[in-house]
Amino acid sequence: MAIIVKKAKLNVFEKVYIFEIARGIVVTIGHFCNSLINPHRLPTLNYPEQKRRLLPNYRGRLRLLKNETGELKCTACLLCVKACPANCLTVEAAPATPGAKRTPARYDLDVGRCIFCGLCVEACPFGAIDMNSGIYELADKDPARFIFTKEKLAQERGPQ
Amino acid sequence: MMNSDWMFLGTTTARAVFMWGLTLVFILINIFLERKICAFVQDRVGPNRAHICGVRLFGFILNFADAVKLIFKEDILPPFVNKAYYIAAPAVIMTIALMGAAVVPFADDLTVGGFTLPMQALNLNVGFLYILALTSLSVYSLVLAGWGSNSKYPLLSAMRSSAQMISYEISMGLSLVGLVMVFGSVDLGQIVKAQGGLIAGVVPRWGIVVQPLGALLFAVASLAELNRTPFDLPEGESEIIGFHVEYSSMKFALFFMAEYANIFVASAVFAALFLGGWQIPWLTTAAIKEHAAPVFRTVSIVALAAMMAVAALLVRFYRKRPYQWKDLRRIEGPVLLSALGLGALLAVAGIVASYVITPGPIMAALLACGLQMAAFCGKSFFLCAFVILVRWTLPRLRYDQLMALGWKIMLPLGLANLLVTGLVLLLKKG
């Protein structure tokens, strides 16, 4: 069905159109002068020099956490591997020694595959991994460097 | 050849090269203005990365990076195009754009040692008819590009744009007839000279004062001829496709350079016809020559004040910025400020010199010429900025609205303007 578009009623000044154009130009000149005189108030962040403040729940690159004695909290239970929908984790447990906590011999993350969904963090029963690292500048020219080993995953900084 | 022949050849070449160079420089300025005005109107920062030794000149250096990029891009010649037309089109439009500014006078006649030089690259007695002829010719380029591309969207766009340009040419010519009736000449040099007087001793006798409607019509028509928003249907980059879709690399860039050159030409012509060209209001050439020293002093003081204002803005900008560049750009502030300091020193030297030296007739003539050139360039600059500001203010017209505006509003208004001007002139005479 055809819809009849209602046209707005214009008064004489608006019909002449040229005055409305002048009003529009005044608006743009206002914005121009504001930006010219107060460039520091523009909302743009100059990215590599200026960085965003991340929210506490921002998901960055996965990170292995340590306990008070400086050992990895991870027990190589492989629940994170099972939870991962992108198959980006490769975890192998170290041979068990009686009486000691189990540790991973290998914990590799392929950032090229990771989709930053955070399901591994939710799956972990020991709170041994998190994504609060605040690391998001992961671009690289060499694909081999997308694979982060246990040592790299453990030593990185983080805001929280 | 005789000595005066060489003189004629040399000065003519110099004037032609000056106007040609000015057009080329204004291409760069216009691209810079387009980017920066667009950014500032939309509350963005605009170009601020490309730099030479840390100096970015507020983004002006990006032009050079852009040029390098466009020159080294792959120049694709599609297999289906008509090669001759396809290659000719950008060359034609650029040639016409660079020819346009030739008849615009940029200063009063310079009299040095018995020689009188008209400060105009091409002293044609057909005046602005030459420019109207050139705008008609530039339609050919669009049609060549559309037809030569041998592809349906460019062809449609070429049809659209040729229809548009032919429609608006009529209004453009008509809007100028009133001006010719008032000033009695089509020669731009004569028209600009006639705008030197004052009405009732106060208001400068500029074209925009004696022909306000003509100025408005000419401004709108020249926007349409330039294919600038709100009349940029030929290009129509966002929804309808323009005549240069099949072009790449420098051929594509030539279309855009021609557009920005045309903005300058249109601004210069508008300035010459309606804003008094090189005329400085309330300051005739004779007055400048007579009071050369005080005029030079005033100019130096104004320049000093302007440089100090720019320096204050810069200092404020660099102090309030919440971050620091990590490369060479961090030295930009000191470099720019020291350049401004050098300029300020020169201005102070000028103020001192105006007290010490009494300028001779040649120096006074050169001063008048320089000031008028500066006035002309300043007027053109502001008009270019206005054309660009209009682009970021108004949406594009629909095609039927475009045609309705051209034929149903502009044409009758132009005729009415003609009638009223004729009546007023008749009453004044009789």
Question: What is residue B2's predicted lDDT score, i.e. its pLDDT?
Answer: 63
Contact A24, B394 (CB under 8 A): yes
Residue in B with minimal Cα distance to A24 = B393
Question: Which of A65-69, B231-235, B326-330, B418-422 shows the lowest mean pLDDT across its residues?
Answer: B326-330
Question: What is residue B320's predicted lDDT score, i.e. its pLDDT?
Answer: 81
> Is residue B216's pLDDT more than 50?
yes
What distance in Å separates residue A17's CA from the closest CA in chain B?
A: 11
> Is residue B1's pLDDT more than 60?
no
> Is residue B53's pLDDT more than 90?
no
Residue in B with minimal Cα distance to A26 = B393
The more confidently predicted of residues B208 and B3 is: B208
Give the model confidence (pLDDT) of A107-144 as tens digits: 999 999 999 999 999 999 998 998 988 888 888 899 88
Does the beta-carbon distance from A25 to B390 stay under 8 Å?
yes
User: For the packed helices B128-149 and B83-99, what is the interaxial angle rounded to 10 degrees?
Assistant: 160
Question: What is residue A55's predicted lDDT score, i.e. its pLDDT?
Answer: 87
Average pLDDT along chain B: 89
Average pLDDT over residues B387-403: 90
Instruction: Let me know how long chain A is.
Output: 160
Average pLDDT over residues B266-293: 89
The more confidently predicted of residues B118 and A82 is: A82
> Among B36, B43, B318, B394, which would you mutate to test the A interface (most chain A Cβ atoms within 10 Å of its Cβ)?
B43
Average pLDDT over residues B358-363: 83
Does the beta-carbon distance from B323 to A35 stay under 8 Å?
no
> Is residue B272's pLDDT more than 60?
yes
Interface pTM (ipTM) of the complex? 0.88
Model confidence, pTM:
0.89
- List chain A residues with pLDDT less than 50: 160
**Residue (of B381, B156, B165, B122) closest to B270 by Cα position:** B381
Does the beta-carbon distance from B45 to A25 stay under 8 Å?
no
> Is residue B402's pLDDT more than 70?
yes
Cα separation, B297 vs B303, whole angstroms:
10
Cα separation, A20 vs A26, whole angstroms:
10
> Is residue B291's pLDDT more than 90?
no
Question: What is residue A28's predicted lDDT score, i.e. its pLDDT?
Answer: 95
Give backbone dihedrals phi and psi of A17, rounded to 5 degrees, phi first. Answer: 75, -35
Long-range contacts, B423-430 (Cβ 8 Å, 24+): B425/B181, B425/B182
The pLDDT > 90 percentage for chain B reads 48
Of B41, B216, B326, the CB nearest to A32: B41
Of B40, B41, B323, the CB nearest to A49: B323
Question: What is residue A160's predicted lDDT score, i.e. its pLDDT?
Answer: 45
- Kindly state the tokens that stand for A19: 């005055």
| Chain A residues within 8 A of B321 when measuring between CB atoms | 39-40
Judge whether B309 is closer than 8 Å to chain A, CB to CB: no
